[in-house]
Amino acid sequence: MPLRNTDTTFGWLSRLIHWLMAVGLIAMLVFGTVLKTMEPSFANLWMYDAHKSFGLLLFMLVLLRIIWHRLSPPPAPLSGVPLWQERAARWAHRTLYALMILVPLSGWIGSAATGISVRFFGLRLPQVVPPSAALDTAGFAAHSLLTKLLMAVILLHVLGALHRGFVSRDSSLRRITRGV
Amino acid sequence: MRTLLALLTCLIALPALAAPRSYTLDAENSAVAFFYDFGEEEIRGNFTLEEADISIDFDAVQNSSVSVRLRVAGGHAGFPFATEAMLGPRVLDAANHPEMYFSSTSIRRTQAGASITGDLTIRNVTRPVTLDARLFRQQGAPVGGFDELVVELTGSVDRTDFGADGWREWAGDTVRLQIFATIDAE
Ligand code: HEM
């Protein structure tokens, strides 16, 4: 199993990050939604720290992913599908990257602005922004809105990938799952 | 002769007592405790008293006065998460409003002690509050010794009146106060 990406294939590191983030993001979208509807109590305070920690972990993963793709560029999308599909896929990928950065960043900014220290699995992080009512409100408003957008784009992305795999039947889906 | 002397000292002492006496705070032996509901539990937090000017007229309580200042950042709300939340912009906003003040406007005698109405300033918002006061002499103090006293102030405030209305889904609106201040005559 090659580590690096080639002109036509994904190496294992790119595929590993892709699937870790896929599982992580979907789980976090569910987790965050549950968090919002939960009865506040002592017993579930820890869940906020857990949400922040895993969210920051995903933030690191997307940064690692971007750096890795500079070092080892991923293969170009396969052609042979209608132009609108190609465009939709490119647009979805760009939006996904933007959201994978902005979603955790907005959560982090909103959280830090409340004055409550943000911890990464127990490790207290330096304050990214000072306590501020405006950043608190704006950060969480953005976090709430962008996570909804992320849900929509992930849905499109999954539908598009399944379409490629089972309707167009090209190797798009296979090369990110099995690498060939 | 003895009784005469005692009577004399009493007479001399009376005018001294009749005028309001000033007291300063013994901050070391004073504490502001507060209580609030967090889900099903009642949590105890505290602040340290920074400064207090108290003047007590033992004969005409209405002529007494109390003013108190305390530093917001020195407060604790029971556990770290809550302390940070309380000092943050959604509640006390310590960065922009580092102090809280109380200053009495009227005091009247009650059965148990006194009822003190005054202006409480939190987050730069001033609202009237009424606190119940009781005075205690230090244990072991000589009879008639008013040099060191303990004042207990109790009452409650609605934090939303002061705009300290964040995290309402977590912490109750009503904050119950219990202040013990040890004061020394000047
Ligand atoms: C990719 C990572 C993340 C995802 C997918 C995610 C997802 C979500 C979702 C769906 C919600 C519910 C939003 C709503 O319905 O209003 C939420 C809430 C929240 N998120 Fe995240 N989040 C992520 C990262 C973070 C990070 C890094 C932090 C902080 C360091 C954070 C802090 C919070 C907090 C405090 C809430 C609760 C907001 C409230 O109760 O008002 N999140 N998150």
Pairs of residues, one from chain A and one from chain B, whose beta carbons lie less than 8 Å apart? 42
* The pLDDT value given to residue B3: 40
Lowest mean pLDDT among A118-132, B3-17, B101-115: B3-17
Q: Closest partner residue to B87 among A40, A45, A115, by Cβ?
A: A115
A116–B84 CB contact, under 8 Å: yes
Query: Running DSSP on this structure, what letter comes out for residue A115?
Result: T
Using the structure block, give the residue that is written with the tokens 């005091």: B107
Lowest mean pLDDT among A21-30, A33-42, A63-72, A149-158: A33-42
Q: What residues contact A151, with CB distance under 8 A and at least 6 apart?
A: A29
Q: Closest partner residue to A136 among B40, B41, B90, by Cβ?
A: B90
* Protein residues whose CB sits closer than 6 Å to any atom of ligand 1: A 25, 28-29, 32-33, 35-36, 48, 51-52, 55-56, 58-59, 103-104, 107-108, 111, 118, 140, 143-144, 147
CA distance B173 to B90: 13
Interface test with B, best of A38, A42, A132, A136 (most B CBs within 10 A): A42
CA distance A1 to A137: 47
ipTM confidence: 0.87
Structure tokens, A73: 């560029």
Chain A residue with the nearest C-alpha to that of B84: A116
Using the structure block, give the residue that is written with the tokens 């300290």: B164
Atom of ligand 1 nearest to the CA of A48: 35
* Segment B128-175, tens digit of pLDDT: 999 999 998 877 777 767 889 999 999 999 999 999 999 999 999 999
Structure tokens, A21: 């983030």
* The pLDDT value given to residue B18: 62
* Segment A70-114, tens digit of pLDDT: 999 999 999 889 999 999 999 999 999 999 999 999 999 999 999
* The pLDDT value given to residue A179: 87
Domains in chain A with CATH codes: 12-177 (1.20.950.20)
The contacts found for B8-17 with CB under 8 angstroms, 24 or more apart, are B13/B144, B17/B58, B17/B59, B17/B146
* The pLDDT value given to residue A165: 95
CA distance B101 to B122: 7
Angle between helices A45-71 and A12-37 (to 10 degrees): 160
Chain A residues closer than 8 Å to B41 by CB: 42
Mean pLDDT value of segment B92-108: 96
* The pLDDT value given to residue B125: 98
Chain A residue with the nearest C-alpha to that of B39: A41
Q: Closest partner residue to B41 among A42, A116, A132, by Cβ?
A: A42
Atom of ligand 1 nearest to the CA of A58: 1
Of the CA atoms within 13 Å of residue A147, those in its CB half-sphere come to 20
The residue with greater pLDDT, B13 or A33, is A33
Mean pLDDT value of segment B67-74: 93
Mean pLDDT value of segment B28-56: 93
Nearest CA to A50 out of A31, A77, A69 is that of A31
DSSP letters along A161-179, please?
HHHIIIII--SHHHHHHT-
Structure tokens, B180: 């013990």
Q: Examine the pLDDT at B81 and tell me if it is beyond 60.
A: yes
Structure tokens, B131: 């606190």
Chain B residue with the nearest C-alpha to that of A46: B81
Q: How far is the alpha carbon of B88 from chain A, nearest alpha carbon, in Å? A: 5
CATH assignment of B2-185, given 3.90.550.10, 2.40.128.110, 3.20.20.70, 3.30.230.10? 2.40.128.110
Q: Domain limits of chain B?
A: 2-185
Other CB atoms within a 10 A radius of the CB of residue B118 amount to: 21
B89–A41 CB contact, under 8 Å: no
* The pLDDT value given to residue B140: 74
Q: Which of B67-71, B110-114, B118-122 has the highest mean pLDDT?
A: B118-122
What does pLDDT average to over chain A? 96
**Helix (H/G/I), strand (E/B), else coil: B59:** coil
* The pLDDT value given to residue B5: 37
